[in-house]
Structure 1
Amino acid sequence: MPRVSPLSSADLPAAVAETFSAFAGGYSDFRDQAAVLAHVPPALDHLYRMLMELRAREGVPFRYIELAVVTVSKLNACPYCVSHHTPLLEVEGVPTEAVAVLPESDHPAFDDADRAVIDYARLVTVRAWGIRDQVFDALRRHFTEAQIVELTLRSALAGFFNRFNDALQIDDGAAEALLHLHPRSDTAAGEQP
């Protein structure tokens, strides 16, 4: 149960309600996340419309976006995002056993472009301040500068959603089930039980 009361699209102005409905029932069911983000209608409207527009324009193939999102979400131990994005990654042709090794990039199912995305998403998440030039050299072999900017945006935004979902305990049951399969230690992060 989220830490704030969920809202519905009926609680929003018509234009924002339309964005809520389009995103919440889009390529994955994010209705529970939308119901919490709805407390700040401009954030819901702008973030979700931006994500839908990015998806529609296909500036970066969806496989790479999902590789970045799942990598970041696993690093941040966000069961909600891992549970919602893993099936999308599998639809993109990444086998289950390859998804299981993320955030590592050494599975044989990953090609050079996949590895460049995974390694970059990991660095954006854990050490954005110290990314070396050779990482960008690897990215440039597969992606334009605009695509690199979008991969950076999507990796950083995945980190935002990880923290948002975890802090407000957004969970539709799938994430909770995943958490029991792969428990995380909050005491390792410095929180007292």
Structure 2
Amino acid sequence: MSPRKSAAAALETRDAIVARAVAVASTDGLEGLTIGRLAGDLSMSKAGVIGHFGSKERLQLAALEEAVGIFTRTVWEPVASRPAGRERLLAICDAWVAHLESGVFPGGCFLAAAAAEFDGREGPVRDGVVAALGRWRAVIERDVRAAVAAGELPADSDPAQVWFEWNAFAMGLNQALQLHGDASAPDRARRAMRRAIGVPG
């Protein structure tokens, strides 16, 4: 096998491991990732799995990075070209709810689960979750400020409050879908998120 084909095969194997790790972690948690489980699922040796990452923690971080990338591609990228402000906020609202409703991850919202799993811990994985949510918070708050500057939202609108409420609604929606199978929850979440920025549901 040529070096180029060997490198491509290694990358393909790594991508397969990460994809499976994301699926497993979405239902069993990032701590539920085990080298033995992934090796068995992918018909690989444990050494073959760990050789791509070096440690369980680095595997967890790779799964988190991929999950964040999926969220970005399905929620942010389709609306990123919209004008900043209320129009894009409404588009984000719809895309975020649709992402949760469509079951992109088998265990529901990956970030919601990871946030609950690591909120009382320390270390690089927790830091990665905090950083990912922080970037998303910055997106929401930026568009709230743009909407205020354009006169689309009241001057006293608080970007941090909008983020707090939207994040809470998204986590509540995830729980309603995953734990209770509540088919009415997506519409409730959309209405709640719209009301948080003064738009009738």
TM-score, normalised with respect to structure 1:
0.33
Structure of greater relative contact order (alpha carbons < 8 Å, 6+ residues apart): 1
Tell me which protein shows more helix as a share of its residues: 2
Q: Give the TM-score normalised by structure 2.
A: 0.32
Q: Whose radius of gyration is greater, 1 or 2? A: 2
